[in-house]
Chains A and B, each alone.
Chain A
């Protein structure tokens, strides 16, 4: 007997929003049901999350709120700078999310369905609105946390919170309008993707059925970078640079900041491409070790470039060569941990990201308390993820 209840409810609903919203609700319900069905795993994650939260709360409790308060008091005296920073944050956040969602609705599985343009527009507006509310709530929560940790006067709170909130909303509005304007451009006027031959040949990492993957990762990185994926971070970096700074240190800090921002984007783009490649090659008989090796090719190249720039940047900052090498090796280990989690959770990429954040926090805490143990623990985690990833079908 066909079950018509849910669809009847859908049909009776006015088409105020795109059905993608209902899809999101259904997915959330299914995710919850899945978590209940696999309850031992869920309990494990909850306990792990609880332990991590306790560690974070303990760590946060030790932060000197007065020092941050002092910085915020200084910032409150520069409302234009503060406003620009938060406007940039709002703009980048909403612009990127609106563009991604609009593209998904236009070219994804809903692409050919009859959905009123007004419903799509309202859904994009709702998405931007919710994202801005969430972003603003996070900003206010962080400021309130600093107030809670401060023992001295917190008179900076109202001007900073007001400036940040107004700027965030203005930036978000500009981000939404900019994204909609870009969406209306003819396809040829949007960012063009070009492909080219690999810069370096690394035959041991190549796989005949996956020789396009590194190029795919590279093009995805270039596309996101050109689309202004990390513009707000670059803006933040510009604001962090003090006015009176020696030229060498300034060059070093800029080099270091830009290299790390670009590398973060490259790693994220590479991981998203791995998930997509895995989905597309699901029917191919690919041995996992070869698949994993092929996915490493571009991130390895990106890390090499970033490592070189970071070492130069740190040396210009008067750091020792040993420290510079430790930093780039730690960056490499962190990246490998993130990639190994992507291999392991390639069917559930959201879980890979959550665990990457959690495990990185734990490793940083370990590095702070027992430095020599941190790389050993990182290698152990990477090996474990790789081992589990081999049996994922």
Chain B
């Protein structure tokens, strides 16, 4: 059973079709990077599969459960990092975590989440109000809220934004451990290609609302072993091949 299965997904803002008949399947234990230029539909895709946006067409199934048919059961199998700008300013980090743990039916904030908070150097901020957090600290809380309970599918949108190098490294290590040891699948939208290249097991390129390129583990290994090549380079070549608009 796939951790995530998307078939024929369509979403449009007015006349502008952002996702155009998109298909994607992610197996348990896969660490997938979703890359693409600005405006290619990465965030829209993630919001559609989190149930925040309702797609016009298509099917999203999380761990075999269709989001459109049983949203509650599907969302129980999904972890989605909270946008730092949406965090409630007057709650403390611990209160946010407790509320989310309660909503997931957990007996408390799991030890693994608190351990990750320690690795991200967030534990000193747990009992302070969100309004006193910096952007990076809010980002850490958003990530912790997304991984709480370690559900079968974890979705993160640009999680490295604003993180200091130590925290970014700890997060990458944690996500790798989660996929390898717990069998969770991780879908990570990112522009940080050097991050994606080192840690992921698969990479997909989104362009014009469709997935135009899919690099599997073997293809990524080949890129890693070629000293004259990099994911950045192959992505640029792919974008040129598929006619992405130039930003310069």
Chain A positions within 8 Å of B, measured between CB atoms, are: 2-4, 6-11, 13, 19, 22-23, 26-27, 30-31, 34, 106-117, 186-188, 192, 279-280, 282-283, 347
Residues of A within 8 A of B54 (CB): 186-187
A10, A19, A110 pick with most chain B CB within 10 angstroms: A10
Select B56's contact among A108, A186, A283, beta carbons within 8 Å.
A186
- Complex CA–CA separation, A383 to B24 (angstroms): 57
Q: Is the CB of A4 within 8 A of B103?
A: no
Residues of B within 8 A of A30 (CB): 90-92, 95, 129
CB within 8 Å of A: which of B26-58? Answer: 47, 50-54, 56
Residues of A within 8 A of B76 (CB): 114
Q: Is the CB of A11 within 8 A of B102?
A: yes
Residues of B within 8 A of A9 (CB): 102
CB within 8 Å of A: which of B72-123? Answer: 72-73, 75-76, 78, 80, 82-83, 85-92, 94-95, 97-109, 111, 114
Contact of A7 with B72 at beta-carbon distance under 8 Å, contacts A109-B83, A186-B54, A347-B89 already known: no
Select A109's contact among B86, B97, B102, B135, beta carbons within 8 Å.
B86
Residues of B within 8 A of A10 (CB): 98-99, 101-103
Cβ of B236 within 8 Å of any chain A Cβ, yes or no, is no
Contact of A31 with B106 at beta-carbon distance under 8 Å, contacts A10-B99, A116-B72, A192-B14 already known: no
Cβ of B162 within 8 Å of any chain A Cβ, yes or no, is yes
- Complex CA–CA separation, A3 to B114 (angstroms): 10
Q: Is the interface of B mostly helix, strand, loop or mixed?
A: mixed
Q: Is the CB of B111 within 8 A of A19?
A: no
Q: Is the CB of B91 within 8 A of A3?
A: no
Chain B count of residues within 8 A CB distance of the other chain:
48
Residues of A within 8 A of B182 (CB): none
- Complex CA–CA separation, A116 to B92 (angstroms): 25
Other contacts beyond A26-B99, A188-B12: 15, CB < 8 A? A11-B107, A23-B91, A23-B99, A30-B129, A34-B129, A109-B86, A112-B50, A112-B51, A112-B52, A112-B78, A114-B72, A114-B76, A115-B103, A187-B54, A283-B162
Residues of B within 8 A of A280 (CB): 85
Select A117's contact among B52, B56, B71, beta carbons within 8 Å.
B71
Q: Is the CB of B12 within 8 A of A114?
A: no
Contact of A11 with B106 at beta-carbon distance under 8 Å, contacts A6-B98, A283-B162, A347-B131 already known: yes
- Complex CA–CA separation, A241 to B82 (angstroms): 50
Residues of A within 8 A of B106 (CB): 7, 11
A to B CB contacts below 8 Å, 9 in the list:
A4-B107, A10-B99, A10-B103, A11-B106, A13-B102, A109-B83, A111-B50, A111-B52, A113-B100
- Complex CA–CA separation, A115 to B52 (angstroms): 13
Q: Is the CB of A113 within 8 A of B75?
A: yes
Residues of B within 8 A of A6 (CB): 95, 98
Chain B positions within 8 Å of A, measured between CB atoms, are: 12, 14, 47, 50-54, 56, 71-73, 75-76, 78, 80, 82-83, 85-92, 94-95, 97-109, 111, 114, 129, 131, 135, 145, 162
Residues of B within 8 A of A22 (CB): 99, 102
Q: How far is the CB of A115 from chain B (nearest CB, A)?
A: 6
Select A188's contact among B47, B56, B75, B111, beta carbons within 8 Å.
B56
- Complex CA–CA separation, A23 to B99 (angstroms): 7
Minimum-distance CB pairs A-B, first 6 = A10-B102, A4-B108, A112-B80, A112-B50, A114-B75, A7-B98
Residues of A within 8 A of B129 (CB): 30, 34
Q: How far is the CB of B40 from chain A (nearest CB, A)?
A: 20
Q: Is the CB of A107 within 8 A of B52?
A: yes
Select A19's contact among B50, B72, B80, B99, beta carbons within 8 Å.
B99
- Complex CA–CA separation, A27 to B129 (angstroms): 10
Q: How far is the CB of A60 from chain B (nearest CB, A)?
A: 33
Residues of A within 8 A of B86 (CB): 108-109
